[in-house]
């Protein structure tokens, strides 16, 4: 058999170290990780469990004889509830899982958030391994150790920092992903390219298609660098919210169904560059580059004016808001054409209104 190419990225969060495997051979360590534990609980959802990558992961785990529980969560956000957590924890208890056991999450960000939180809280914490199956989970949700479930009125309101023991990402999983979900992940891919303009060329060349294994790994590495520098989100990690303040407003304005998270972030990225231009922080070239990257990924750069105004009104509910008002993550021009991104930037209401008007057309 030909060796399957895999990139291995080392990750560090405080004292905790783990490996991230990306590529066709990424699932290879799974059986060994399972064998190092007394029992394994697999957490997934029905739609994912039917896909070839999930089947391969499950088969490899079953061969070890360690799988004691298979928790099937309802799809998407419906699986991220305290009621589902209670149901899952009850199953783990009934099947005799202990602190020496392992949780394996196979799925998108909804599954990894819920499975990670189950691992963080069951018996005060078990190790867990993430097998992300969406682009968003690969480049974002499965990395960094933030785990959570929702309350009926607030997303991610109950959660914990609990980094995984390994992240095993085979981008072939993306072959079965609905196109709109792929594009949603591309919103975060473009975000990394705007955070690290050295990635822009590769992101533009990749366009709206499935990114290469190398590009997925490069985005993961970009997130890991920020998380490593700020494991518990006290400062620099705010950079990962580039595009998310206005983006959250867009998601809320569309009642969380009109725009996906990635589409909202895409609009938020354009907004951030336009606001930065209003503040004299960047010139029109940077704005044009950001817009071209967003559009090239098949993501929107404009929204109807009424939606833009509604998004602006709703973004003040952003949970990252400080007592003294909204703080922005915005680019600032350095030498000639490049830019760097800074957090904690203030912006006056006139500049914000002007950027809102530019987006809504």
How many other C-beta atoms are found inside a 10 Å radius of the C-beta of residue 5? 12
Decide: helix, strand or coil at residue 71: strand
Q: Which is nearer to ligand NAD, 173 or 341 (CB)?
A: 173
As measured in angstroms, the least distance from the Cβ of 138 to ligand NAD is 9
Q: Which is nearer to ligand NAD, 128 or 339 (CB)?
A: 128
Decide: helix, strand or coil at residue 161: strand
As measured in angstroms, the least distance from the Cβ of 216 to ligand NAD is 13
Q: Which is nearer to ligand NAD, 80 or 309 (CB)?
A: 80
As measured in angstroms, the least distance from the Cβ of 40 to ligand NAD is 20
Q: Which is nearer to ligand NAD, 59 or 93 (CB)?
A: 59
Give me 239's structure tokens: 């950079």
Q: Report H helices in the chain.
A: 30-35, 46-49, 52-63, 82-94, 109-121, 135-136, 179-195, 200-206, 213-229, 244-253, 261-278, 284-296, 305-314, 349-359
How many other C-beta atoms are found inside a 10 Å radius of the C-beta of residue 313? 13
The answer to whether 46 and 259 have CB atoms below 8 angstroms apart is no
C-alpha 347, offset from chain centre:
27
Q: Which is nearer to ligand NAD, 48 or 92 (CB)?
A: 48
As measured in angstroms, the least distance from the Cβ of 121 to ligand NAD is 15
In sign, the C-alpha dihedral spanning 291, 293, 295, 298 is negative
Give me 127's structure tokens: 């190790």
As measured in angstroms, the least distance from the Cβ of 238 to ligand NAD is 13
Q: Which is nearer to ligand NAD, 137 or 203 (CB)?
A: 137
As measured in angstroms, the least distance from the Cβ of 218 to ligand NAD is 18
Which residues of this protein are in contact with ligand NAD, per CB under 6 A? 45, 47-48, 51, 75-77, 80, 107-111, 113, 133-134, 136-137, 140-141, 144, 146, 155-156, 173, 176-177, 181, 184
């Amino acid at each position: 058999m030909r060796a399957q190419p895999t990139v291995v990225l080392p990750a560090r969060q405080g004292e905790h170290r783990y490996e991230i495997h990306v590529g066709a051979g990424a699932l290879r360590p799974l059986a060994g990780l399972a064998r190092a534990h007394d029992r394994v609980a697999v957490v997934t959802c029905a739609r994912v469990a039917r896909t070839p990558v999930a089947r391969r992961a499950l088969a490899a785990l079953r061969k070890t004889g360690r799988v004691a529980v298979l928790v099937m969560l309802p799809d998407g956000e419906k699986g991220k509830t305290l009621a589902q957590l209670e149901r899952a924890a009850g199953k783990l208890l009934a099947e005799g899982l202990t602190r020496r056991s392992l949780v394996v999450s196979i799925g998108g960000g909804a599954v990894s958030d819920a499975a990670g939180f189950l691992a963080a809280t069951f018996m005060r914490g078990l190790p867990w391994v993430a097998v992300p199956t969406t682009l968003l989970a690969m480049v974002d949700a499965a990395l960094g150790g933030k785990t959570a479930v929702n309350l009926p009125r607030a997303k991610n309101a109950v959660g914990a920092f609990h980094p995984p023991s390994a992240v095993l990402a085979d981008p072939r999983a993306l072959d079965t992903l609905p196109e709109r979900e792929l594009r949603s992940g591309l919103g975060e891919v473009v975000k990394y390219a705007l955070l690290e303009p050295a990635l822009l060329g590769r992101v533009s060349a990749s366009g709206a298609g499935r990114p290469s294994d190398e590009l997925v790994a490069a985005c993961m590495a970009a997130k890991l660098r920020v998380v490593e520098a700020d494991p518990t989100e006290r400062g620099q990690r705010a950079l990962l919210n580039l595009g998310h303040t206005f983006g959250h407003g867009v998601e809320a304005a569309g009642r969380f169904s009109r725009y996906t998270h990635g589409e909202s972030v895409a609009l938020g990225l354009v907004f951030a560059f336009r606001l930065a231009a209003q503040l004299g922080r960047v010139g029109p070239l940077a704005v044009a580059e950001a817009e071209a990257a967003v559009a090239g990924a098949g993501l929107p750069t404009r929204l109807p004016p009424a939606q833009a105004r509604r998004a602006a009104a709703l973004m003040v509910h952003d949970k990252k808001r400080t007592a003294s008002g909204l703080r922005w993550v915005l680019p600032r021009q350095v030498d000639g054409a490049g830019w760097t991104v800074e957090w904690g930037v203030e912006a006056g209401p006139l500049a914000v209104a002007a950027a809102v008007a530019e987006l809504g057309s």
